[in-house]
A and B are shown apart, each in its own frame.
Chain A
């Protein structure tokens, strides 16, 4: 089973600042099968990034993903008020289980 470790646990930032979120895998993630999701309180998760760096439909270009192997990053270049949420990475490389990281909360400073 691939274990994903996200850091930091909480990121305290102000609107307009840059957010850098990390996701580290316990072993290499094949073919960059790594996704990022955003979840706001009381809502279902929303897919942001798939294939480590491809933005999902309708996702603003201030969100970007990078990385390969065991180290992946989600960057939000300039935080908007609606970006304050919890972010999860997930690997979907075969074989399952397709594990999630424990999440990073981006909160108002």
Chain B
């Protein structure tokens, strides 16, 4: 059974940094793309970042490019999102999502999300 468990969320002040983690199990982690998708309170889904199975290709939304860095440790089946220079607009539930292929692909499994709140 595929499982994705996010961790690392919390309450921060503007300008601070945070690293989210997503522990994956139940599938061959390095064979699949992974994504981060966020959802601000009461709002829709926003794709944030993704990378392919070996992590050689990384992609970002314009809203986070230059501030966020996605990475993965395939030896530990873990996905990361390093978030720097946080703003109140980054407040959201952050979901880790597994692609159904090595690169660009729909997300066929999702974690339950971790809440990041940025407030002064």
Contact = CB atoms under 8 A, between A and B. Distances in A.
Q: Chain A binding site: helix, strand, loop or mixed by DSSP?
A: loop
Interface residues of A, number: 27
A100 B107 contact: no
Given A97-B59, A97-B61, A45 B106 contact: no
B55 interface: no
A1 interface: yes
B45 A93 contact: no
Contact of A88 (B45, B61, B95, B104): B45
Interface string B38-75: 00000011110010000000011110000000000000
Nearest to A43: B112
Contacts of B44: 86, 88, 100-103
9 contacts: A35-B106, A37-B45, A44-B110, A44-B111, A45-B37, A86-B44, A97-B60, A97-B62, A98-B47
